[in-house]
Amino acid sequence: MDFLPYANSYDLANYGEAQGPPQTQQTRPRFLLVPLNSDAMDFVVNLECNAHLRYSYPMDPATNRPLVALDITFSKPEKREYTLGCGEGVDIFLPNEVPSHRSTSRISDLHAVFFFVEATGAVLLVDHSRNRTVELLNCDGCTRIDFKT
């Protein structure tokens, strides 16, 4: 299941009134996790337990297709991280088993964390997976610092 952070070529505010959460303070980070394949859409974005983060807009101006993603916003000062995994209490639930795969996807209870560093304004992705399986994908216009090994 692959996702791409999405907030590069134009500001999310350009979407206007979306069905998802409204645009919040511009001084704190916000991005969308856009599913890159059907498993990511079907088994993460469309899960009811992730509905509180679902963002949808009828037409994405960059692709001319509907946009459905997970909205990650650090607009509230007390919310400094988003956890991903298959354990109880995570912010974004990732199922450990996907019916279209013959084996499990090996998702850890706490697989990864997006962490906001207020002093620098950076959002860090921390890999907590058992086998260090979190991968970074390239995207146009993204500022990216690879994992330190």
Torsion, Cα 134 138 143 148, to 10 degrees, reads 40
Q: What is the pTM of this model?
A: 0.70
| pLDDT of 21 | 46
- Is the per-residue pLDDT at 58 higher than 70? yes
By the 10 Å C-beta count (0-12 exposed, 13-18 middle, 19+ buried), 60 is classed as middle
Highest mean pLDDT among 1-10, 30-39, 74-83, 95-104: 74-83
Least confident range of 3-7, 50-54, 88-92, 137-141: 3-7
- Is the per-residue pLDDT at 56 higher than 60? yes
